[in-house]
Each structure stands twice: as C-alpha cells, then as structure tokens.
Amino acid sequence: MKALAAPVVAVKSRSDITKPLVAKLCCPLASAACLLLFDLSVVAGDSPSSGASTRPAGLRPLLAALGETNAGLGKSAVVEIPGLPGGAKQLEVVLVPGRGAVKSFLMGKYEVTQAQYQAVMGNNPSYFTNGFDYPVEQVGWNDAQDFCAKLTAGLTGELKGKLTFRLPTDAEWSLAVGLPKESGGTPKDKNGKFPNFYPWGSQWPPPVGAGNYKPNLKVDDYDTTSPVGSFKPNQFGFHDLGGNVWEWCEDWYDNDHSCRLLRGGSWADGNPGSGLSSSRHGPVGPRRNGLGFRVAASALGPR
C-alpha cells in the first residue's frame, strides 16, 4: 500500500492557511492581465547538471527540436511569469528527446511552486506555506489543468499558437524519470513493474540526499514539503521527480476513468513500493497536502 499524505485536518480554514503567503506574494502585477506579458526567454545549458546558462538563444531552436526524434539533451527554457517575488524560482522547462511513439517534449524542471501558482492563478491553496519556492499542494487535477491553460493563454509573440502547456502524460513522465520501455495498457497495469528501479538508482532505502521522503527514512531534513530543487537533479535535469509531492499526470489511472494518475511519491511516503520509478497512484481524494504537479509543453500547429 502506498501512503499518501493525509488529508488536512480542519484545524485551519483555507483562508487562514493562505493569508501569510498571499501577503508576502502580493504584487500589483499578479493579475490575469499580466499574463499577456508572457514571453519565453530561452536559455541553453550544455548539460543538465551544469544548470542553465544565462545566454539568450531565442525560441526557434527549441521549438524546432520538439519536432525531432533525436533532440539534444540539456536544452532548457525559462517561462517568465510576471509577478514572481524577487529571487523566486522561475518556471523552467527542459527538453526531453522522444522515444518510440513519444515525441520530444518539454517538462518542468521543478514542481510548480507556490509563488508561480499564486502569480498565475491569484491564490495559493497550499497547506504548508513555508515560502514561495515550496511546491504548491492541495491542488486537484482540474486546478493543474487551469494553471496550464492560463499559461498557454498568456503566450505572446512568436510563441502564441506554437506551444501548449499541459500536464505530462504517463509515458512522458516515465521517459523523464529514465525508465526503460514499459509494457501494459493503462498506468495501473504498469504500476511497480520495475522492481529495484528508483529515481536515484537501485538501492533501498534511498541514500541520504536522494530526495524528500518520509522522516523515518532519515534521508533528508524535511518533515513535510521542501523547496523545489533542494536535491540534485536526474540525468535530464529534473528535480524532485521522486518525493516531495506526488505529481498529477494527464492520463486516467485505469479504464474505469474514475480518477487521474499520480506519479513519484511524496514527503509522506516511506515504503519501497511508492519510491519506485514505475510507481503509480490513482484513487485519492481531490486535494491533499502531498499532491502537486509539474507542467509539460509541446509544439502546436505547423512550425
């Protein structure tokens, strides 16, 4: 059984929970109108582990790479969201080369943060309001969809009509976490089918610093969520794919179509099953403090 983060006990009202951070993040630019100011500045990094450089490279090469089957590693782009507080993590997307039927795509280097969610959506539903770079949680699948739709609607200039933000598919998430080709129909069919295959390697329990997992594993210093990017990235440059918050994906969990798919485990998980790279979860309540998401993006229309 996988341990999902417990539903929030009604100790605080949602408005009480969000007030401190809202005050911190309050910015006159954080309105829907500001979304029209979106622009995408592409920064190219030679390797994911070196981090993104600050060299502007233009958008076109990245869009072109989305149409290639053999897109190069290490390309990333920053999506500038107006209204982020100074020093807050930007929304950065990393290019993942396609494989088989999966076309090359962009996926968020980090889980979506509370500052990013606040700036785009105008509210912060998170339970653990410890700072703006913590992952947004207590978001449902529909909330994540709305966030992506607003990002897409805010694109301007050469991006408009060329790119769409969405949630990663199950197959994309598997590619990003480095899984070999999987067999099976639904995500539920593929759940846990690669034993001893974790985001950090093959050992259990995880080594210290592997990610943010349940406190009894003693692999990190966080009892609940941690700021995104607190642990080293994987080979593609993604942080926190394993642990911190479970991540909503685009797919249904199974053919019942009763719930959407979650991947990656959370700060509240400490069993090997949840830690597996192939771990999936579906049947949960809509909003819990261990559930967040990261964005994906793909090209739209003719280039």
At its nearest, how many Å lie between Ca ion and the CB of residue 139? 13
Which residue stretch of 64-72, 180-188, 199-207, 259-267 sits at the interface with Ca ion (rule: CB under 5 A)? 259-267
- Integer Cα distance of 275 and 198 in angstroms: 6
Which residue stretch of 24-32, 55-63, 149-157, 218-226 sits at the interface with Ca ion (rule: CB under 5 A)? 218-226
- Out of 206, 264, 270, 290, name the contact with Ca ion by CB under 5 A: 264
Secondary structure class of 78 (helix, strand, coil)? strand
At its nearest, how many Å lie between Ca ion and the CB of residue 129? 17
Binding residue count for Ca ion, defined by CB under 5 A: 7
Encoded tokens for 4? 């999902």
Encoded tokens for 128? 């653990």
186 part of the interface to Ca ion, by CB under 5 A = no
269 part of the interface to Ca ion, by CB under 5 A = no
Q: Which is nearer to Ca ion, 143 or 240 (CB)?
A: 240
How many C-beta atoms surround the C-beta of residue 181 within 10 A?
A: 9
Q: In what order do the strands lie in the sheet with 75-80?
A: 39-44, 75-80, 91-96, 105-108, 296-299, 163-166
Q: Which is nearer to Ca ion, 162 or 280 (CB)?
A: 280
- Out of 104, 234, 244, 298, name the contact with Ca ion by CB under 5 A: 244
Residue 275: HSE in the Cβ half-sphere, 13 Å Cα cutoff: 26
At its nearest, how many Å lie between Ca ion and the CB of residue 243? 6
220 part of the interface to Ca ion, by CB under 5 A = yes
Q: Which residues contact 274 (CB under 8 A, 6 or more apart)?
A: 2, 3, 265, 266, 281
240 part of the interface to Ca ion, by CB under 5 A = yes
Q: In this structure, are residues 253 and 259 in contact, taking their beta carbons and an 8 Å threshold?
A: yes
134 part of the interface to Ca ion, by CB under 5 A = no
Q: In what order do the strands lie in the sheet with 246-252?
A: 280-281, 260-263, 246-252, 291-292
At its nearest, how many Å lie between Ca ion and the CB of residue 14? 23
- Out of 186, 212, 234, 289, name the contact with Ca ion by CB under 5 A: 212
Which residues of the shown chain bind Ca ion in the complex (CB under 5 A)?
A: 212, 220, 222, 240, 244, 264, 267
